[in-house]
Amino acid sequence: MEYKNPKLPENNVSKEHPLKEFSTLLIGTLVLVVVVSITLSLAGSTLAGYIPYSAEKKVASLYDVSTHSDNERFPEIAAYLQDLADKISKAQNLPEDMKITVHYMDSPTMNAFATLGGNVFMFKGLLERLPNENTLVTLLGHEIAHVKYRHPIRSFGGGIAVAIAMTAIGSSADSTVLGDAGLLSTLQFSRKMETQSDLEAMHNLNSLYGHINGGAELFKIFREARGGDGGSEPSEFFSTHPQDEKRINSFTENANKYNWSETGELTPLPDFFKF
């Protein structure tokens, strides 16, 4: 058999532009990261929902929330909020070990949120806009419902799963990941979670007062804060929350569905609560 040594072509390079190959590789990598992140987030969120609440409380106990609360400076306000939270907890039939602890924040921030271990934070910037106790109960009931349905731990679990994955593939995440996604973070809840909490708040509002009057005012306040007509509100497709107008209309829709009254006497806020 005769062997031959073929002559190699002088320009032994790909005809494809190197930037095209790089772009294809980069896009493929980004798509893979996005798919893996979404998958891990969903898996982490689902699995976290099965974590016993006792374990969630242990995680929450790693943080000293008292250093972030103004309860000691405003004991009367703190006691009032806690009393309402206890009544709402009873109306929502929370398990005995699912104790809600309300933390008053003397801050102009217009916010309120629930996080791990039954901790609910209420900011002066939002509370000072509330017209009556019924609206306040709607707000508190909504946040407590997040705890009831384990939304914080599910959100926390999804975020941690993604953070760990990013660390594993060389992201800038480091050992502070638990702190960055920790107890005092405002966790992101899905539209489904928000809608579920809205409905639970309506149920206990009707249970406590015999009607749901005053509840929709909460979302009118949010709408007004965005400019009065919701024009600055992002499209629902790009938002984790249902749109304000839809949430306002849901009170009438659910009143018709559950035979609730939308009229009834509104309970005024105590004098010391008028900022």
Q: How many CA atoms lie within 13 A of 75 on its CB side?
A: 1
Tell me the pLDDT tens digit for each residue of 42-74.
Answer: 444 455 556 788 878 887 787 777 778 999 999
Residue 85 located in a structural domain:
yes
Residue 9 located in a structural domain:
no
Tell me the pLDDT tens digit for each residue of 242-257.
Answer: 789 999 999 999 999 9
Residue 262 located in a structural domain:
yes
- CB of 218 within 8 A of CB of 135? yes
Length of the chain: 275
Spatial distance between the Cα atoms of 38 and 60, rounded to a whole number of angstroms = 25
Tell me the pLDDT tens digit for each residue of 96-105.
Answer: 999 999 999 9
Residue 71 located in a structural domain:
yes
Residue 168 located in a structural domain:
yes
Domain count, the chain: 1
Tell me the pLDDT tens digit for each residue of 181-236.
Answer: 445 555 678 889 999 999 999 999 999 999 999 999 999 999 999 886 554 444 44
Rounded to an integer, the average pLDDT of 172-180 is 42
- Per the prediction, the chain carries an average pLDDT of 78
Q: If residue 165 lies in a helix (H) or strand (E), which one and from where to where?
A: helix 151-168
Domain residue limits at 197: 22-273
Residue 67 located in a structural domain:
yes
Q: How much is the pTM?
A: 0.74
- Quote the percentage of the chain above a pLDDT of 90: 51
- Quote the percentage of the chain above a pLDDT of 70: 65
Question: In terms of Cα–Cα distance, which of 195, 80, 202 is closest to 141?
Answer: 202
The number of angstroms, rounded, from the C-alpha of 61 to the middle of its chain's C-alpha atoms is 20
Spatial distance between the Cα atoms of 213 and 196, rounded to a whole number of angstroms = 19
